[in-house]
Amino acid sequence: MSQVTKIAESQFETEVINSDRLVVIDFGATWCGPCKKLHPIMDELAAELGDSVKIGYVDVGENPAIAQSYAVISVPQVLFFHGGKVVDRIVGLVPKPKIKEKIAIHSKG
């Protein structure tokens, strides 16, 4: 079972904006090949990092308003939220160490 929380529009404010910790959101789509390769990486990170960071997934096909409000026009795209604001983003499929490095940087703040 996935450790990544699937987040819908109705949950976004509570789960992401109002979170008291770093939130990493994987924006993807079921039709996206690279997105399918990123999912296991995000699952591994969620399992490794536990409650220190919240890792979520937003399906852009099911939640187009969220994607549009954060200018997510290509997927996969990973956004890093701290204090309710986007503090960083990664566009495209990247290796796990790159995502982990960004999490470490933004977890300190």
Q: Whole-angstrom Cα distance, residue 2 to residue 80?
A: 19
For 16-35, letters b (16+ CB in 10 Å) and e give: beebeebbbbbbbeeebeeb
Q: Which residues participate in catalysis according to the annotation?
A: 32, 35
> To which H or E segment does residue 89 belong?
strand 85-91
